[in-house]
Amino acid sequence: MAGLRAPKAGDAFRLEVKYEEKYDEQDKLGTPEKLIEWIHQVLGADAPAAPGHSWQDISNYLKDGVILCKLINKLSAAAGKGKADFNAKGAGKSFVAMNNIENFNKAAREYGVPENALFQTPDLYEGRKGPLLNVINCLNQLGFVANAKGYSVKYHGPAPPKFDS
């Protein structure tokens, strides 16, 4: 989908590069890899293994929203919260995948992830490195919220970024 857009220019290009550099910083800290490991520990057999830890692999792995919804549902069930509806069978269709991602964000908000730590659906769905940073930051925050709620599988990522309220 992102391949159909004109390349970024000017301020938008500089902002995209800045986000890509910040993603690279998180990658050096091991945040994406630690998140994928944590997701696998939480979901166990309920999730296939990620094909790798590159930003492209992570983006493709999470893109349909199914893994995200399974993750938040497992965490929410342990905390006595509601579930995120998702459609695994139709997740290959863009509108279904985007709906799954939106449902994850709603459930993450209800679970306790701060509003300003959530991401926009295109940040994940369009498969671009810079915006994927927002997804990584959200999941990192989710891991620490789960730790604070006493979830049995602990997340051991780097300290979450500070968000202005």
pLDDT, tens digit, 9 for 90 and up, residues 36-72: 999 999 999 999 999 999 999 999 999 999 999 999 9
Which one of 2-6, 60-64, 161-165 scores highest in mean pLDDT? 60-64
Residue 4 in domain: no
Residue 98 lies in a domain: yes
Residue 27, domain member (yes or no) = yes
pTM score over 0.95:
no
Domain count, the chain: 1
- Would you say residue 3 lies in a domain? no
Q: Is residue 46 part of a domain?
A: no
Let me know if residue 159 belongs to a domain. Answer: no
Q: Domain range for residue 25?
A: 15-39+53-148
Please write down the long-range contacts of 93-102, taking CB distance under 8 Å and 24 or more positions apart.
Answer: 94/1, 94/125, 96/64, 97/63, 97/64, 97/65, 97/125, 98/65, 98/125, 99/65, 100/64, 100/65, 100/66, 100/68, 100/69, 101/65, 101/68, 101/125
- Tens of pLDDT, residue by residue over 95-135, are 999 999 999 999 999 999 999 999 999 999 999 999 999 99
In a domain, 44, yes or no: no
CATH assignment at residue 102: 1.10.418.10
